[in-house]
Each structure stands twice: as C-alpha cells, then as structure tokens.
Structure 1
C-alpha cells in the first residue's frame, strides 16, 4: 500500500517559535497568539485542508544561557511571551470536528495526578482527538522556576518520566472499568463503586492513591508522542511512544534514529511498526519554482541569527571573536556547543556562525512548485523512512494556506493524503487504523481491569 502522510502543523503559543525574525513578515499573524480568534481561525483552516493535527510545542522557562541572560530571547520574542498550549485546545475543538491536537507537557515539574485529569478532560471534550508530546524539559531556568537549583540530570529525568507514565497508565487504564457508569435513574446510582478503584501507587518519585477523577474517555490514554534521539530517550520511546517526533543533521542520521527506536520497541515487547515517525519539515511552495525561491529568499533576509544563537543556548558568543578564529582557540575541543550543534574544533568562528539563521540548513526542506514539493515529500516517505511531518511555519497563516491550496491536491491525487475525514475516528484510529485504545502489547495496557496495581515501594529521593 502507498504510505499515507501524517500531516501536522508545528505551532507554539508565542510570537517566535522556530523561525526567528520572521514574525516581521507582512500580514504575519504571529502577534495575535493571545487572541482566541487566532486559534479558531487556524483550526478551521487546517481542518479545511485535511491536516491530522496541530502539534503544540511548549517550554516552561526562558532561554537565558546565551550572553548570560534572557535579554536576547526577550528582544527576539523567542518563546517569551509564551502561553499554556493546552488552554487553546477547547477553543479549537469547538470550531472543528476532526482536527487532532498534540499537546506538549513536561513530566519533570508538575505532579502526574493533575495532568492525568486535565488531558482526560480534553480527550472527553474533543471526543478522542488529543495526543500528548511527552518531554522532560531542558532549560536551566525551567528548573529554577519550579524550586530547583539547577537542571535534573538528563538520564535521571527519563527515569522519573518512566515512573510518571506508570502512574498515568494506572489512572487512565486501570482505575475505571468501561462499564462503571450505569446512570440508573430509578435506583439513584450513577456509577458502580465496585468498578472504580484506587491505584495506591507508591514509588521512588510519586505517591498517588487515586482513583482517577474523570471517567474513561474515548481513547483512555491519549496518543503518546515523544521528541527524542538520545540513548535514554530511545529506550523510553521504545517502551512508551506511539509517535516519535525526531530529527537530525541529515537524512542518514534520521534513518539511524528510526532504526534504533524501532529496535527498542521490539525489545520492549512491541512491534517495530507500532511506532510512527514524524519530523519537522520546511515547505515553501508557489505556482512556479521561481516564485517559491523568491519567497524563500525573503524569508532568509529576515531570519535573525541572534534568535537562533539564543535558541541554541550557546554558552559563548561567536560574535565576540574575529571570524577567522578557530573554535579550538575559543576553548571548544570537540562535541557539542549549546543544545543543538555538533562542532568541528578546526572550524572557524565565522564558518560556525554562518549556520545560524541559514534556513537552508533545515534537513528536510522543499522549495518549489507543487509537483516538485510533492516529489520531495514522497522521497521523504519512501527513502528517508518517515511517516509524517510537522510543517514548519514561516508565515501564519500563509504557510498552511499555501500547502493546502497547492500541495494537498497533488498529494491526494497521488494517494498520499486522505480526501476526507472518517466521521467515526479518534486521533489514534486515524494514525494507526487499529482502534481507539492502546494495543494490548503496549506496556500501559497491563493495568486494564485493575491488574498489576499492587503497591511497589521504592526509596524516596529529594530532588532539591
């Protein structure tokens, strides 16, 4: 069968999410992110074009490493100001019937019981259209915002996240039976207490009695996304993730990540095909290739290197050195410089700096007419091995509108996109075509019917 594209729009409840400096484009609506109409208009546009979901990123701190403060991020509007992503979902759901919602939320700083309740509520309100992008948070300022002196160590965050998910599965899958609500008006019994149970979780990081407060939603467990490429993240994804949002400096690196996570899924007792892979992709399309390239050149003119430097959390300022200076002479011997970039110490500062704000460095980038863009997307699906894209926004709403008007008809004609939604499907059913609930071979399904809820006691640990 022809592989169908999972099509999401990459969004964030802020001015400058990924494409720094481009909020200045004429008629860009980025500054309207505080207005509910921005989100309702966007949701209706995406549903008109057959998008599977809008993928909402989030952070819970500022980018304050570069130049020793958050000043650069604040000037750039780089994810500050920044609002809660989950809060806009009900507004978007109210004006749509099919569009899904991927909501980013961190396992490191807020307790699992409250989050389980919030996202179950959203799954009810959307009739099964929500997914959760599981993150563990990486910004030092985020840790300080929640009372810690510094970041929790990377692999330890994933250990905590693993137990966090265990608590949630017990609440979502094990706390209520499907037939617990009897709604017996004559007998004055709404729910059967024999079919609702506490979970009595007592672990290393969390202690939760339960029961879950919401009744079972259509999906029970939201579609589980993770964004990862690390060793600890790969093991975590193999056990938990249904969709992995991943990337890399090039297609070969992306392919290795996909292979590794599929192997981790098999090691966790699942099937390799139980995991889908989406990656961020840049698409600039116009009726002719010349028009698309002119549009892309305008985007490049406005791209802000300072925004990208701050986003990378560079612990040093390349602009403070002569461009001919070697990185080794700045004190960078090998490995990484900031969050994103693997560096060559023999590279000059000027060469290193040139990559920031260079929009051509996007690993999956298609600039051209509709046929050319569709050809490239098909190559990503068939040769790179991805299952879908989070469409990078250069302009709101023109990026999505151009894709809908010009690329969607071609992809539909080639069998890569559906022509219409299925009225009955949840987000999980849409992605996998195998029902609304987690498959039985997924770790979270072990708690169904109240199985395996015996308390497990581990030593307590104080993160402070």
Structure 2
C-alpha cells in the first residue's frame, strides 16, 4: 500500500510570508489578514481539502539585516506587520471539525507557567487539535525588543529550550492525575485534591512552584513541531519533536535530513516512526501544463526577489545588499539559521544564485504543472526524499490552496496517496494512529504520575 501524504497549509498572520511580493497580485487577499472572516474562510477551505493542519509561523522581531534597515521590509510587508497566531485558533476551530492547528511560539519570549495554560486552553477548545512549533529564535531584533543586548548563543538557546520543555512536561503531564476531575455534584467535589500535585522546578534558566492551572486536555501535551536541523537543533528534535519541518532544495538533501532525524530519534530511545518529516514546497497548478506555466509567469510578474533576498539575509545574518551579483560571499559560522548558512557555503551560492532560486520571491522548491505532473513530483519527494508530507507555502491567497484542493488532491486520492476522510481522535492520533497521548518512551513519560518533580 502506498504511504498517504500528510499535508499542512503553511501560513502566517501577516501579509508576506514565504513567497514575497505576491500581495500585489489583483486576486490576492493576504492584506485582509487582520479580518477574522479571512481566517475562518481559509480554515473552511482547508477542511474541504482534508488538510491535516494549518501551520502558522511567527516571529517576534523584524528583518533589519538587509541594507541595515527595515525600509524594504515595510514596503514589501516582509512578515511585518505580523499579528499573534494563537489568537486565530479558536475562531477557526469553531468552523471546522478535523483541521489541526500548529502555532509557532518562541520559548525565549514566553513564561512557561503561563504558556502551559494557554496551550492547554487551546487543546480543550479544539478538542485535541492543537500543536506547538517550538522555536528558539534567530533575530537579534527580537532579543533587543524584549530587553536583551543580543540574541543568545545558538546552542545555549537550545539548552534553555530543553529545560523549558522539562518544566512544561511536568505541568502538562505531572500536575493532574487522569482521574483528578470528578465533577461530582452530590459530593460537591469537582476535582480530588489528593490527585492534583504542585510542580516544583529550579533549574539554570527557570524557577517555578505551582499547580498547572488547567485540568487535563485531550492530548495533555500538544503535538510537538520543530524545525531545527543544525547539529544542536537535531539533538533537540531527536528528544522532543514529533513533526520536523525541513527546508531542502532537492530530494537528495531531504533524504539525508530525514534519515538523520529518524536515526536521532532512535538514538534518543524513541522509534523512527515516532517522527513525521515535512518538506517545505510551493506549487503552481492548473488544468493543463500550459495554463499552469501561464499562471506561474503571471505570478512571477508580481513577485519580489529582492524581498526574498532580504528574508534570506535575516535568516543568515548576512547583508547581501553589500555584494555584487557574482561576488564570493563570506559565509561565517553564524548565530542565525545555521542550516541555511551551511547549505549556502557548501554550494558556494552567490547573490545571483540566491536570486535565481526565488522566482516567486521564496526559497522553497517550486513545482509547476498540471495535476498529474504535480502529483508525480510530490510522490518523488515522498519516495526519494523519504519525507512524510509537505508544508504547502501560499502564493496568491486563497486561490493557491483552492487550486491544490481542486486539481491535485483528487489525483492523489485516486492513487491512494491521500485520505478521503479525516481519521478519528485528536491531531496526534490522526498523524500517528497510536492514541491521543505521547507514548511513555518520549521524555514526557518520566513526568507522568510518580515522577520526582511533583509532590
């Protein structure tokens, strides 16, 4: 039996996300990002397409590396302005039943005790459809905005994140027993005090003493997403992540990353199948190849490769505006998105190389064709890249998602590569088929009843 493809819509609570400049296209509605009906309509569309999830990226800083300013960032709306992704989830959950939601939150910008309640609340309100994309940040501007002198050192940020997850696991998994909530009106006992425990944590980065404020939700711990594939990032993912996002230029790089991620999970005492790998991808599709090519050319006339370059500057910490098109670029050991820097150095990318790889203003691999051609390409990524699914980046909204649903999904379903209905249970159960909760072999197992962190 062919492996079914998992699919997330990749989006952000802003105008310009991955493929930049397309907000200027006359059919694009992304400038309505601050209207609730924009998001509820999108959620209903994705549910019609049986998308596994809507994955919402986020940043808490600004892109100010390119030209050492935010001028282009503001003119092209390169993820600025950007609103809070968590605020969207309840409204979208109310108009859907199967669509999952992955929200990005930076561990260095949150107080774990309060954050634990926010995620538990969303897990309750979505009936177990919430996931958390764990990021440690990569923008100096974000660190300065919250009172820090600069972004913390790369590996230290992951050390802090490891400790943050331990505290969160203790709250989500160890504070309330499964049978703590009785709701016994006659006995006047809502929750049994003997089955609720205080969490005490005193570590290098965090100190906390208190009871988790939320009763157990369907998943307890949300589905854990992560995108770090650097050495230290991969170590973090091996321990914690259930879904790992990779940004690979081709299937060869994707296969190498996928194998390393799964091997890391095994070395951490988990199983290879405990992790799902998603590749970032952009698709332009129409009924015929000719129509798809014409649509791509139409989109390309509105795209901004310079905005894409400014985005890449922020991720690498390199101001590419200083370089001529074919000038060699000094890719040092940075404190930013290390995998992007490493790949650019390995391939000797010049400014011209980078710009030529972003015809729609974005850095993800691009598939253009008729429905069968797109389906063929996606299957190649699944087989040769050894990924489990895709983060589908938007181009012109909402038609890029509508086109994929109307043209590509029926072909994938005919081939047995895509579900024809949502599965039962929580987001976690739909992704893994092993129930609503993380298995005990995951680090959360040591924080469940009887762990030493709880009284």
Where does residue 370 of structure 1 map in the other structure? 371
Whole-Å Cα distance in 2 between the matches of residues 200 and 335 of structure 1? 38
Determine whether 1:185 maps to 2:185. Answer: yes
> Against the structure 1 CA distance between its residues 110 and 393, is the aligned structure 2 distance closer, same or farther, given a 3 Å change threshold?
same
Determine whether 1:145 maps to 2:145. Answer: yes
Contact 1:155 1:232 in 2 (8 A): yes
Deviations 1:345-400 (A, max 9, x none): 99796634633643498554321111111111111111211101011100110011
> Against the structure 1 CA distance between its residues 318 and 192, is the aligned structure 2 distance closer, same or farther, given a 3 Å change threshold?
closer
Contact 1:282 1:362 in 2 (8 A): no
> Against the structure 1 CA distance between its residues 99 and 454, is the aligned structure 2 distance closer, same or farther, given a 3 Å change threshold?
closer
Shift of 1:259: 1.4
Deviations 1:163-220 (A, max 9, x none): 0000010001111011101111112111101000011111111111121000000000
Deviations 1:404-423 (A, max 9, x none): 1111111111111111123x
> Against the structure 1 CA distance between its residues 30 and 346, is the aligned structure 2 distance closer, same or farther, given a 3 Å change threshold?
closer
Where does residue 103 of structure 1 map in the other structure? 103
Whole-Å Cα distance in 1 between the matches of residues 23 and 362 of structure 2? 20
Whole-Å Cα distance in 2 between the matches of residues 413 and 356 of structure 1? 32
**Correspondence 1:324-363 to 2 at 5 A:** 326-327=327-328, 332=330, 339=337, 340-341=340-341, 342-343=343-344, 351-352=352-353, 354-355=355-356, 357-359=358-360
Structure 2 length normalisation: TM-score? Answer: 0.94
**Correspondence 1:51-450 to 2 at 5 A:** 51-313=51-313, 318=320, 323=325, 326-327=327-328, 332=330, 339=337, 340-341=340-341, 342-343=343-344, 351-352=352-353, 354-355=355-356, 357-359=358-360, 364-422=365-423, 424-450=424-450
Whole-Å Cα distance in 2 between the matches of residues 338 and 72 of structure 1? 20
Whole-Å Cα distance in 1 between the matches of residues 246 and 413 of structure 2? 25
Where does residue 7 of structure 1 map in the other structure? 7
Shift of 1:302: 1.8
Whole-Å Cα distance in 1 between the matches of residues 310 and 14 of structure 2? 16
Contact 2:308 2:362 in 1 (8 A): no
Whole-Å Cα distance in 1 between the matches of residues 361 and 17 of structure 2? 17
Contact 2:43 2:92 in 1 (8 A): yes
Task: Name stretches of at least 5 consecutive residues in structure 1 with no aligned partner.
Answer: 456-464
Contact 1:336 1:343 in 2 (8 A): no
Contact 1:309 1:356 in 2 (8 A): no
SS of 1:449's equivalent? coil
Whole-Å Cα distance in 1 between the matches of residues 273 and 346 of structure 2? 39
**Correspondence 1:20-35 to 2 at 5 A:** 20-35=20-35
> Against the structure 1 CA distance between its residues 414 and 280, is the aligned structure 2 distance closer, same or farther, given a 3 Å change threshold?
same
Deviations 1:85-111 (A, max 9, x none): 000000000111111000000111211
SS of 1:155's equivalent? helix
Deviations 1:267-310 (A, max 9, x none): 11001111110011111110000000111112222221221122
> Against the structure 1 CA distance between its residues 322 and 189, is the aligned structure 2 distance closer, same or farther, given a 3 Å change threshold?
closer
Calculate the aligned-residue CA RMSD, in Å: 2.2
Whole-Å Cα distance in 2 between the matches of residues 177 and 333 of structure 1? 51
Shift of 1:147: 0.9
Whole-Å Cα distance in 2 between the matches of residues 230 and 333 of structure 1? 15
Contact 1:281 1:362 in 2 (8 A): no
Whole-Å Cα distance in 1 between the matches of residues 428 and 162 of structure 2? 21
Contact 1:11 1:17 in 2 (8 A): yes
Where does residue 458 of structure 1 map in the other structure? none
Shift of 1:64: 0.9
Contact 2:225 2:242 in 1 (8 A): yes
Shift of 1:26: 1.4
User: Mean alpha-carbon deviation: is it higher for 254-263 or for 54-63?
Assistant: 254-263
> Against the structure 1 CA distance between its residues 137 and 97, is the aligned structure 2 distance closer, same or farther, given a 3 Å change threshold?
same
Whole-Å Cα distance in 2 between the matches of residues 348 and 169 of structure 1? 41
User: Mean alpha-carbon deviation: is it higher for 310-319 or for 235-244?
Assistant: 310-319
SS of 2:210's equivalent? coil
Contact 2:67 2:321 in 1 (8 A): no
Deviations 1:227-279 (A, max 9, x none): 11100000000000000011223322222111111121111100111111001
Shift of 1:153: 0.6
Contact 1:337 1:343 in 2 (8 A): no
